[in-house]
Homo-oligomer: A and B are copies of this chain.
Amino acid sequence: MTEQLGLRERKKQRTRQTIFEAALRLFLSRGFDDVSIVEIAEAAEVSKRTLFTYFPTKEDLVLQQFADHEDESARVVRARPAGTSPLAALHAHELDALARRDPVTGLTSDPDAVAFARLLSTTASLSERLLRYAGRSIDALAGALEEAGADELTARLAAVQIVTVLRVLADRNSARMQAGHPADEVYPEAVAAADRAFLLLGAGLADALPG
């Protein structure tokens, strides 16, 4: 378990962490667009050139951590208990995440997480770039659904629906948090919304949008 890393590797990790923390601190206090790359580099005591070897774009300073979560839905589907449908597994996982106040649900009163979410939603270039990660998340989920027996078209359509619906739920929760409502207060609505969303995903829109 204990990774034996050389000094070189440890220094790299420390440098990356230092840059990231400096960037986040500056972004949160003054906004993404009002902080320049050189400023971050100075705060982290590295050269501009070095900063860019760790983070290829300014947006990645904020978003690269999302790469860790990009296959979460796919993993949930793959790890589901026998006899459970992919949708049921994802539904259960979302309810569990809400109960845990997992930041990915948007439902958390943790000030840092709320501030971070605000940074994302108020910065156009960040919310746009975030969609790139959503795309990879869709690809991963589609792959898992194919493994579960769906044909390619169905898997892709289902994956894109599921991922975008989860995003809508998270956005709504996050908006409530940013409006100052405590997570515990919003929790029941968040659960109801998730239930509604998975009902629509599973049973379709026909009944919900009658003629």
Cα A87 to Cα B206 with chains together (Å): 7
- Of all chain B residues, the one with the shortest Cβ separation from A208 is B154
The reply to whether A153 and B196 contact each other, CB–CB distance below 8 Å, is yes
Which residues in window 180-204 of A have CB below 8 A to B? 193, 196-197, 200-204
A164 to B158, CA, bound (A): 11
Asked whether, in the complex, the Cβ of B206 is within 8 Å of the Cβ of A148, the reply is no
Contact across chains for A87 and B209 when beta carbons are under 8 A apart: yes
Bound form: Cα–Cα A148–B208 in Å? 11
Quickly give the copy total for this chain.
Answer: 2
Task: Point out the residues of chain B lying under 8 angstroms from A211, CB to CB.
Answer: 83-86, 88
Q: Are the C-beta atoms of A196 and B154 separated by less than 8 Å?
A: yes
Cβ of A43 within 8 Å of any chain B Cβ, yes or no, is no
Q: Which of A9-17, A44-52, A103-111, A126-134 contacts B (4 or more CB under 8 A)?
A: A126-134
Which one, B131, B153, B154, contacts A128 given CB within 8 A? B131
Chain B nearest CB from A58 CB (Å) reads 14
Whether the pair B196, A157 counts as a contact (CB closer than 8 A) is yes
A153-B196, A165-B157, A168-B160 known; A87 and B205 CB under 8 Å? yes
